[in-house]
Amino acid sequence: MELKRVVVTGLGAITPIGNNVKDYWTALLAGVSGAGPITLFDASNFKTKFACEVKDFNALEFFDRKEVRKHDRYAQFGLIAADQAIEDSGLLQDENLDKNRVGVIWASGIGGLGTFFEEVTSFASGDGIPRFNPFFIPKMIADIAAGHISIRHGFRGPNFATVSACASSANALADALMYIRLGKANAFVAGGSEAAVNQTGVGGFNAMHAISTRNEDPHTASRPFDKDRDGFVIGEGGGGVVFEEMEHALARGAHIYAEVAGAGLSGDAYHMTSPHPEGLGAYLCMEAALQDAGMKPTDIDHVNTHGTSTPVGDMVEPKAIVSLFGEHAYKLNINSTKSMTGHLLGGAGVVEAIATILAVKNDVVPPTINHFTDDPEIDAKLNFTFHKAQERVINAAQTNTFGFGGHNASLIFKKFVK
């Protein structure tokens, strides 16, 4: 069976540094930090008092009051990012579009955590009589954003959610690629969103000692690969892409950003939250992506790392890169866009994939900001693209996303040549 070629025809994003793709990309290249004091709740009693929140967001600008009551914040972000990607693709302008062959895969690592917190807190503080909102369950579940996107646009192809912690939306993109390759659909709206900047999310990650407590200087708290990193900065938002079978896209005259060259998945099989100390899972998923793409390590010009700013995680990924790429590792431009956006959890993979796609399209690598002190445990010969964006020819780029539970995903995008 001959596999179909898959291309990217639409992008959408709502992030802590831009509420659309244009603003997001501009902020990335300028090295803008999205971190600041938490405004979504009173964090004065929490160890961490800052986050990367989506700025200037008013749900009523996108939904009527009835819709707002139906959608958790994570689903609102999902619908907005998906709408942007669909509009960008021009998919709905195709009069011959077969909606039975357009699918939706939308991820969330946690789902409606804010809704869950509000409903359970309300019940626990009441008189014991269960007075739950009838929208409680459908607002909370992690698959509901995928369902709403499908309903909103009438897409009747495969429709589901992927949940693999912080790798969730990278898994969604990998699945979309596979379905189209196999001829199971003509196009997919794929991505993910998260909204865990609330008491439960921040408190839970604080209890794990997973997030930064650099309250005196939040703008520089997300510092991947820096010696003094002390945890990730929790973020919120989402991103979406339209993946499309190449001939389908060409037939309707679609704008093509890049080709989806390959995807690789692996499991660490090591620990509940810590990565394999030698980066074995990271190595395996990157290697699998290269094999899937039919590419050699020397074909890659740029790697957008998982790079969360955690003490352990940031040490193992560079090890895996050097192990896989050998001497070519030192010719790569490596970066972590989480230094600017923070960690969007289940939405991270797709938001970073969008940055990688645009890097390939525009031949420029966004910087890794907030680097002050080299870590002697991290290979200093690697080019982490510190401080400033760097222009270079990027024929192909790889982006990595890893999640609690040892879930690893890697995606490769390359310049489109018919």
Q: What's the rounded Cα separation, in Å, for the pair 140 and 131? A: 16
Q: What is the pLDDT of residue 146?
A: 98
Residues 271 and 193 in one domain: no
What mean pLDDT is predicted for residues 391-407? Answer: 97
**DSSP H or E stretch at residue 264:** strand 258-267
Among 198, 230, 251, the domain boundary falls at 251
Q: What is the pLDDT of residue 338?
A: 98
The CATH number covering residue 269 comes to 3.40.47.10
Q: What is the pLDDT of residue 85?
A: 98
Residue 288 and residue 297 in contact, taking contact as beta carbons nearer than 8 Å: no
Residues 21 and 53 in one domain: yes
Q: What's the rounded Cα separation, in Å, for the pair 75 and 81? A: 10
17: how many CB neighbours lie within 10 A of its CB? 27
Q: What is the pLDDT of residues 303-320, one digit of tens each?
A: 999 999 999 999 999 999
Q: What's the rounded Cα separation, in Å, for the pair 173 and 105? A: 8
Select from 22, 11, 35 the least CA-distant residue to 340: 35
Residues 136 and 36 in one domain: yes
DSSP string across 145-161: HHHHHHHHHT--S-EE-
Among 229, 251, 273, the domain boundary falls at 251
Q: Which of 166, 276, 285, 302 is catalytic?
A: 166
Residues 239 and 274 in one domain: no
**DSSP H or E stretch at residue 37:** strand 36-37
Residues 281 and 199 in one domain: no
Q: What's the rounded Cα separation, in Å, for the pair 264 and 316? A: 18
Considering the chain, what percentage of its residues have pLDDT values greater than 70? 100
Q: What is the pLDDT of residues 200-235, one digit of tens each?
A: 999 999 999 999 999 999 999 999 999 999 999 999
Residues 235 and 365 in one domain: no
With respect to residue 258, please indicate whether it lies within any of the assigned structural domains: no
255: how many CB neighbours lie within 10 A of its CB? 12
Q: What is the pLDDT of residues 244-302, one digit of tens each?
A: 999 999 999 999 999 999 999 999 999 998 899 888 999 999 999 999 999 999 999 99
What is the DSSP pairing of strand 302-304 with strand 333-335? parallel
Q: What's the rounded Cα separation, in Å, for the pair 342 and 340? A: 6
**DSSP H or E stretch at residue 265:** strand 258-267
Residues 77 and 224 in one domain: yes
Q: What's the rounded Cα separation, in Å, for the pair 8 and 259? A: 6
Burial class (CB in 10 A: 0-12, 13-18, 19+), 160: middle
pLDDT band at 52 (very low <50, low <70, confident <90, very high): very high
Q: What is the pLDDT of residue 110?
A: 97
Q: Which of 248, 343, 371, 407 is catalytic?
A: 343
279: how many CB neighbours lie within 10 A of its CB? 24
Residues 353 and 242 in one domain: no
Please write down the HEC assignment for all residues of 310-338: CCCHHHHHHHHHHHHHHHHHHHCEEECCH
Residue 166 annotated to the active site = yes
Q: What's the rounded Cα separation, in Å, for the pair 311 and 291? A: 30
Its domain, for residue 270, covers 264-414
Q: What's the rounded Cα separation, in Å, for the pair 200 and 46? A: 11
With respect to residue 308, please indicate whether it lies within any of the assigned structural domains: yes
Count structural domains, the chain.
2
Residues 136 and 283 in one domain: no
Among 225, 251, 277, the domain boundary falls at 251
Q: What is the pLDDT of residue 256?
A: 98
Q: What is the pLDDT of residue 221?
A: 98
With respect to residue 295, please indicate whether it lies within any of the assigned structural domains: yes
Q: What's the rounded Cα separation, in Å, for the pair 270 and 273? A: 9
Select from 270, 261, 269, 308 the least CA-distant residue to 288: 261
Residue 345 and residue 196 in contact, taking contact as beta carbons nearer than 8 Å: yes
- Give me the chain's average pLDDT, please: 97
Residue 188 and residue 245 in contact, taking contact as beta carbons nearer than 8 Å: no
What mean pLDDT is predicted for residues 96-119? Answer: 97
Q: What's the rounded Cα separation, in Å, for the pair 335 and 333? A: 7
pLDDT band at 1 (very low <50, low <70, confident <90, very high): confident
Residues 202 and 325 in one domain: no
Please write down the HEC assignment for all residues of 192-245: EEECCCCHHHHHHHHHCCCECCCCCCHHHCCCCCECCCCCECEECEEEEEEEEE
With respect to residue 192, please indicate whether it lies within any of the assigned structural domains: yes
With respect to residue 196, please indicate whether it lies within any of the assigned structural domains: yes
Q: What's the rounded Cα separation, in Å, for the pair 239 and 246? A: 22
Q: Which residue has the tokens 């300028």?
A: 30
Residues 276 and 181 in one domain: no
pTM exceeding the 0.95 threshold for the entire prediction = yes
Q: What is the pLDDT of residues 189-203, one digit of tens each?
A: 999 999 999 999 999
With respect to residue 84, please indicate whether it lies within any of the assigned structural domains: yes
Residues 93 and 135 in one domain: yes
Contacts 24+ apart (CB under 8 A), 251-256: 252/90, 252/94, 252/96, 254/7, 254/9, 254/89, 254/90, 254/91, 255/9, 255/89, 255/90, 256/7, 256/8, 256/9, 256/416
Q: What is the pLDDT of residues 317-336, one digit of tens each?
A: 999 999 999 999 999 999 99
With respect to residue 189, please indicate whether it lies within any of the assigned structural domains: yes
Q: Which of 148, 276, 306, 407 is catalytic?
A: 306
Q: What's the rounded Cα separation, in Å, for the pair 344 and 199? A: 16
Considering the chain, what percentage of its residues have pLDDT values greater than 90? 97
Q: What is the pLDDT of residue 127?
A: 86
With respect to residue 259, please indicate whether it lies within any of the assigned structural domains: no
